[in-house]
Structure 1
Amino acid sequence: MTERVATTPGLFPLPDWAKETLSDLKGHQKGDLLSGNEGPEIVSTYADVRSELIDDQLDAGLDRIVEGQARWDDMIAHPLTVADGVETGGIVRYYDNNNFYRDPRVVSEPTASGDVAEELASASDQLPADDDVALQAVLPGPYSLSELATNETGADAEAFRESIAAFLAAEVEALGDHETLFLLEPSLVEQPPEDGVDAQASDAIDRVASATDADVVVHTYWGAIPEKPYAHLLDADIDAVGLDLVTGDRDDSVYNVQEYGAPDSVALGVVDGQNTLVEEPETIAERVGWFEEQLPVGGFETTYVTSNTELFYLPENKYQAKLNALAAGVEVLS
C-alpha cells in the first residue's frame, strides 16, 4: 500500500513582521549578509522566523518538516553565494519570473560552508520527539545550481558541473540526521540539458544523492521534463522524481512515467505554489488519484504530496493555508 506523505519543497515567505525588521538591519550589514556572516540581531531574527515556520508546519500537520530557508534571499542559489571561492555578482532575474537573486560568480573551486547543515541542526532541535513527523533537508540540485551560477574558473562546462556536484555532496555530507532530501531541479524543465549534457547532469545528481542515506527526491517544476533528460535522470540513484501536475500539460509527465518508468517513489506537485487560490483538500486528493489511475497497478512505495514550486511567492496567510490544504488532502486520501 502506498504511503502518502504531506510535505513541501521549502523556501517559505518571510512572516510580515520579519520583513520590516530585517529590512532595517540589512541596510547596515549588507556586507555581512553577502558573506554569510550576519550580525547577532539578524541571527536572532532568523532564529525566531525559523521557529515560526516550523510551528506553521507542525500546526498544519505535515509529515516532513523543513527548516523553511527564510535566509535564502538568493533563492536556490543561496548555498553557493555564501561559499568560499564564490564572489557575489549583480542582481539577475530568477528564471522567467519577477523574482531576483544575486549572481554567484564562481572564481575557484567552491568550498562547502556548512551553512545549510547549521540551519538543519537548528531545525532539528525544535522538532518534537514524535514519530509522526520527520526532518527534511532541502538543497538545489547540481544541474540547476550550475546553470544559475556564472563560471569564471576557466574550466569547461562539464568540469564546472562536476565541481558544483562535489560542492553539494560535501554540503550533504555535513548534514545531520534527516529522513528525506529534496534536491530542487527546475532547470531540468526551464533550461533542459542537450544531448550528452543530460547524461552528465544525471551523473552529477547521482553524486549528490550518494552522499546521504536519506531518501532523495529530485523535484522538478514549471512543467514536465523533456523525454531524454527524464530518461537519463532515472540512471541516478534516487528514490523519487518530483513531477509538476499544475504547470503545463500534466499528461506529459504521465507519459514519461508510462514510457520510461520511475523510481520506487514519486513526489507530486499538486498545489500551486505561485497562485493565491487555495486548493480544497478534495481537489488535492483528486489530482493524486488521477495520476495514480494512469499508471499500472502496484503504485509507489511513497507518494510525496507537495506544492509544485517553493511557496515564498505567496503572502503569509496564503502560504499557511496551502500547508493546511496539503495535510488535509493527504487525510482525504488515507
Structure 2
Amino acid sequence: MTEYVSTTPGCYPLPDWAKDDLSDLKGHQKHDLIGGDEREEIVTVYDEAREELIGVQQDAGLDRIVEGQLRWDDMIAHPLAVHDAVETRGIVRYYDNNNFYREPVVQGDLDFSGDVAGELEAAAELVDDGLQAVLPGPYSLADLATDEQYGDEADFLAAIADFLAGEVDAFPAVETLFLLEPSLVENAPDDGLDERASEAIDQVAAATDADVIVQPYWGALEEKVYAHLLDADVEAVGFDFVADQDQNLYNIQEYGATDDVSLGLADGQNTLVEDPEAIRDRVDWVFDQLPVSEFETVYLTTNTETFYLPYAKHEEKLAVLAEAAELAEVTAA
C-alpha cells in the first residue's frame, strides 16, 4: 500500500519577531552578517527561531521535519555564499521572483565547509525521528554561481557535485534529503549538460543513505532533461503541479517515474490556504491521469519554498499538508 508523507522543500520564512530582531542586529541590512561568524546575539536569534519552527512542524503533524534554512539569506545559493573560497558580489534577482541574493563568485577550490551539517546537528537535537535535510541540487547551485576557478562548465558542475557530496557526507542521520533543482526548469541544460547534471545529482545522492528526492519547480522539465534525470539513482523526482499540470503529466505518461514521487500540490507562494480535502482530491486527480498503478511513497509538499509567505500563512500551509496526507492514507486504505 502507498505511504503518504507530508513534507516541504524547506527554506521557511522567519517568524515576525525574529525578522525584527535580526533587522535591528544587522543594522537593517539583510546581508550584512551571515555565514559561520555571526555575532552571538544573532546566533541566539537563529537558534530560538529554529526551535520555534521545528515545534510548529511537529505540532502540525508533518512526517518530515526540516531545519528551516533560516540563515539562508542568499536563498539556495547559501552553501556557496558562506564558503571561504567564494566572494559574494552584487545583488541578483532570484529567478523570476521579487527576491534577491548576492552573486557567489567561486575563486578557489571548493573544499569542505560543514555549514549545513552544523545546522542539521542543531536540528537533530530537537527531532527524534523524521529529520529531513535540504540542499540546492548541483545543477542549480552551479547555475546561480559564477566560476572564476575551474574555467569549464562541465568541470565547474563536477566541482559543485564534489563539494555537495562532501557536505552531505558530514550530515547527521536524516531520513530524507530534498535536492532543490529549480534551474533544471528555469535554465534547462543543453544537450550533453543535461546528462552531466543527472550524473552530478547521482553523485550527491550516493553520499547518503537517506531517501533522496530531486525537487524541480516553477514549471515542468523538458523531456530530455526529465529522461536523463530518471537515470540518477534517487528515490523520487518531484513535480510542480501548481505551475504546470499538463507537461508534468506528459513526462510521467511518456517516460515513467521513480518508485516514489513528490507532488507539489499546495502553492508555496500564494497566501490562499487550500483545504486538506482539496489537496487530497488533487492527488486522486493526478493518479487518475497516470499509467502508474501505485507508488511506494508519495511525498505531499508545497510546490516551492514557503519563504515568500507571511509567517502565519506558512503555518497554515504546514497543517494543511499534514492533514491532507492523513486523508490520503485513509482513502488508500
Counterparts of 1:210-249 in structure 2 under 5 Å?
Answer: 210-248=206-244
- Identity over aligned residues, as a percent? 63
CA distance in 2 between counterparts of 1:320 and 1:196 reads 41
Match of 1:304 among 284, 299, 305: 299
CA distance in 1 between counterparts of 2:147 and 2:218 reads 25
What residue is the counterpart of 2:199 in the other structure? Answer: 203
Asked if structure 1 preserves the Cα contact closer than 8 Å seen for 2:23 and 2:30, the reply is no
3-state secondary structure, aligned to 1:306:
strand
What residue is the counterpart of 2:189 in the other structure? Answer: 193
What residue is the counterpart of 1:51 in the other structure? Answer: 51
Query: How far 1:197 moved relative to its partner?
Result: 0.8
CA distance in 1 between counterparts of 2:150 and 2:158 reads 14
Superposition TM-score, scaled by structure 2 size: 0.96
3-state secondary structure, aligned to 2:207:
coil
3-state secondary structure, aligned to 1:80:
helix
Counterparts of 1:178-189 in structure 2 under 5 Å?
Answer: 178-189=174-185
Query: How far 1:297 moved relative to its partner?
Result: 5.0
What residue is the counterpart of 1:281 in the other structure? Answer: 276
CA distance in 2 between counterparts of 1:32 and 1:244 reads 33
CA distance in 2 between counterparts of 1:29 and 1:323 reads 29
Counterparts of 1:1-334 in structure 2 under 5 Å?
Answer: 1-27=1-27, 33-127=33-127, 129=128, 133-248=129-244, 250-296=245-291, 298-334=293-329
CA distance in 2 between counterparts of 1:139 and 1:154 reads 22
Query: How far 1:78 moved relative to its partner?
Result: 0.3
Query: How far 1:36 moved relative to its partner?
Result: 2.6
User: Residue deviations 1:277-317, cap 9 Å, x none?
Assistant: 00000110011111112223531110000000000100011
CA distance in 1 between counterparts of 2:112 and 2:150 reads 20
Query: How far 1:2 moved relative to its partner?
Result: 0.7
Asked if structure 2 preserves the Cα contact closer than 8 Å seen for 1:285 and 1:329, the reply is yes
Letter of the 2:71 partner, please give it: R
Structure 2: runs of 5 or more not aligned: none
CA distance in 2 between counterparts of 1:30 and 1:313 reads 15
Distance 1:297 1:76, change over 3 A: closer
Superposition TM-score, scaled by structure 1 size: 0.96
Query: How far 1:39 moved relative to its partner?
Result: 0.9
Structure 1: runs of 5 or more not aligned: none
CA distance in 1 between counterparts of 2:28 and 2:9 reads 31
Asked if structure 1 preserves the Cα contact closer than 8 Å seen for 2:256 and 2:292, the reply is no
3-state secondary structure, aligned to 2:263:
strand
CA distance in 1 between counterparts of 2:186 and 2:30 reads 31
3-state secondary structure, aligned to 1:27:
coil
Deviates further, 87-96 or 105-114 = 105-114
3-state secondary structure, aligned to 1:84:
coil
Corresponding pairs, count? 329
Query: How far 1:20 moved relative to its partner?
Result: 1.1
Asked if structure 1 preserves the Cα contact closer than 8 Å seen for 2:237 and 2:260, the reply is yes
Query: How far 1:324 moved relative to its partner?
Result: 0.6
User: Residue deviations 1:129-175, cap 9 Å, x none?
Assistant: 4xxx5100000000000000011115211100000111100110010
Query: How far 1:31 moved relative to its partner?
Result: 8.6
Query: How far 1:97 moved relative to its partner?
Result: 1.1
Letter of the 2:287 partner, please give it: E
CA distance in 1 between counterparts of 2:109 and 2:197 reads 19
Distance 1:272 1:28, change over 3 A: closer
Asked if structure 2 preserves the Cα contact closer than 8 Å seen for 1:32 and 1:39, the reply is no
Distance 1:226 1:31, change over 3 A: closer
Letter of the 1:270 partner, please give it: L
3-state secondary structure, aligned to 2:110:
strand
CA distance in 2 between counterparts of 1:297 and 1:265 reads 11
CA distance in 1 between counterparts of 2:265 and 2:5 reads 13
Asked if structure 2 preserves the Cα contact closer than 8 Å seen for 1:278 and 1:321, the reply is yes
CA distance in 2 between counterparts of 1:187 and 1:308 reads 14
